[in-house]
Amino acid sequence: MSRLLYVEGTVDRTCTQSHITYSFHIPQPTETIRIHFSYTPKLLEDQEQARGIIEESMCKYGYDEPGHSSDLWKKYIPLQNLLTLSVDDSLRHRGNAHRPEMQQEHWLGSSAASPGFLAGDNPAGMWRITVSLHAVVTETLAYQIHVLGEEAAYA
């Protein structure tokens, strides 16, 4: 098993609704690509910060005026960070992992792949992993991506 990519990053709230793309090279076709993705923390524990974010969003999207309904904001707690992954091989888009879990493992193989990804050959060339930062509600958030290539037993 060979390491193809390992990255760590830290983002903050200003990164919400943005994307970070990493490229990595696979020198030869690989039987299975394994991706370990994690981030922390998951929840915004500070209730006053959560209230501010929720009321601002409610106002922005026309749900309610801030402070109009004193407890309506509680309907949306706990606020959670949400990061998702998408993968492109050197030839095509291979899929997305839109999951809320903080720890995720995915694989792409010739005959099977994790839900959300397309099975198929894993060609040599430049691949890309994009982290979509749908919601960063905590002041900072740390993430890791670890990509491993696994050769076929007969290779």
**Mapping DSSP to helix (H, G, I), strand (E, B) and coil, where does residue 105 land?**
strand
24 band by pLDDT with thresholds 50, 70 and 90: very high
138, 44 contact by CB (below 8 A): yes
What would the pLDDT profile of 33-74 be if each residue is shown by its tens digit?
999 999 999 999 999 999 999 988 888 888 766 555 678 889
Would you state the structure tokens that stand for residue 154, as one six-digit string? 């007969």
**Does pLDDT of 93 surpass 80?**
yes
At residue 155, the pLDDT reads 44
CA atoms of 9 and 69, how far apart (whole Å): 38
pTM (two decimals) = 0.88
Q: Is the pLDDT of residue 113 over 90?
A: yes
**Token duo for residue 149:** 């290539």
